[in-house]
Amino acid sequence: MKLLLLLSIIFLFTTIIIASINHDPNNEKNPSFYLIEKDERKCPKPKCGGYFISMLNEMGGEKTYVSELSTDPKLNGPMEIAEGRQMIGYGYTNRPSSRHYMEMVVIKIFISIQITISKNPHAQYYMIDSTKCLKPPCPMVTHLLNQGTDSHIKSIKNPFMSIPNIDEEWMTSRLYGMDDLHSIVQMTENDKKYTMTGMFIQVPDPIIPCPKVQDKCHGKEINVYSLDSNRCPVWMHCTMPTNCHVPMPKCQDGWDLHSFPSHPNGCLKYYCNPDFITPSPKIKSN
């Protein structure tokens, strides 16, 4: 009888310890950036079929299995997963007391832009902030993710700006963390010269949907627009139709074509946008 009572006390004490570990509030206070890869093993869930995560910029790149990705209340909108693309998640791991496998709780999600470019296994992951100065070009500040290391650099070689028909204002905004969206970039460094080899866009993009497209013109007049840094149409003025000779481009794989009647004469302007971001509102052209 005493032995049974002793075993019951030990079991209860062990359960309390495990529960306190599984629900450690400090896990939520220390989120990190992880590379997320789909588990392609074939066996019953949750043992397989989840994800492997590895902390960015960590030596060895040790992978940890998580049975699923769940969302933190801080996540902007539903979690978006792009099949076949590299993903980065900002969040923390958690082992619910009712489950045998860990999960990753995602606060922010980033998806890789598809571009043909040579990869470098030694590239590291950064966020970049622009600065203001009296005499341009102004230096930039790089933040080495998960390491707390900041550096000032003068320039970055950015092949992503050379993507055909890229929206440069949108790209610049995302690169430097404007509009409350901050991209993650992979970069190599050689003799203090930095080259981007990868770029991950935070989704959803934009965070707030574009407002309704304004239509103020009448008769044969054409509404003319520009796009803001969130790719939302901004009405500019009305104009009469004119002959436009702008060939329709073809976007490369992983990119979607978008067009709108542009300033000054209403001719269509074309952009290629990543196919996983929220499409820009469609605009009727006369």
- Is the pLDDT assigned to residue 16 strictly greater than 50? no
What values do phi and psi take at 26, rounded to 5?
Answer: -65, -25
Name the residue with higher pLDDT: 115 or 262.
Answer: 262
Q: What is the pLDDT of residue 286?
A: 56
DSSP string, 90-125: EEEEE--TT-SS-EEEEEEEEEEPP------TT-EE
To the question of pTM greater than 0.85 for the whole model, the response is no
Mean pLDDT of 180-191: 90
Q: What is the pLDDT of residue 187?
A: 94
What are 84-93's pLDDT values in tens digits?
789 999 999 9
Q: Of 202, 149, 193, which is closest to residue 175 (Cα–Cα)?
A: 202
Q: What is the pLDDT of residue 257?
A: 95
Report the C-alpha gap between 16 and 22 in whole angstroms: 10
Q: What is the pLDDT of residue 20?
A: 36
Query: CB–CB of 283/277 below 8 Å?
Result: no
- Is the pLDDT assigned to residue 54 strictly greater than 60? yes
- Is the pLDDT assigned to residue 170 strictly greater than 90? yes
What are 64-105's pLDDT values in tens digits?
999 999 888 877 666 777 777 899 999 999 887 666 788 999
Q: Of 117, 86, 57, which is closest to residue 276 (Cα–Cα)?
A: 86
Tokens, residue 148: 């707390």
- Is the pLDDT assigned to residue 19 strictly greater than 50? no
In this prediction, residue 121 has a pLDDT band, given cuts at 50, 70 and 90, of confident
Mean pLDDT of 231-242: 93
Name the residue with higher pLDDT: 3 or 80.
Answer: 80
Q: Considering the chain, what is the average pLDDT of its residues? A: 84
Q: Are strands 156-157 and 193-203 parallel, antiparallel or unpaired?
A: parallel
Mean pLDDT of 32-38: 95
- Is the pLDDT assigned to residue 259 strictly greater than 60? yes
Q: What is the pLDDT of residue 8?
A: 46
In this prediction, residue 46 has a pLDDT band, given cuts at 50, 70 and 90, of confident
Q: What is the pLDDT of residue 114?
A: 82
Q: What is the pLDDT of residue 127?
A: 96
What are 186-224's pLDDT values in tens digits?
999 888 789 999 999 999 999 889 999 989 998 889 999
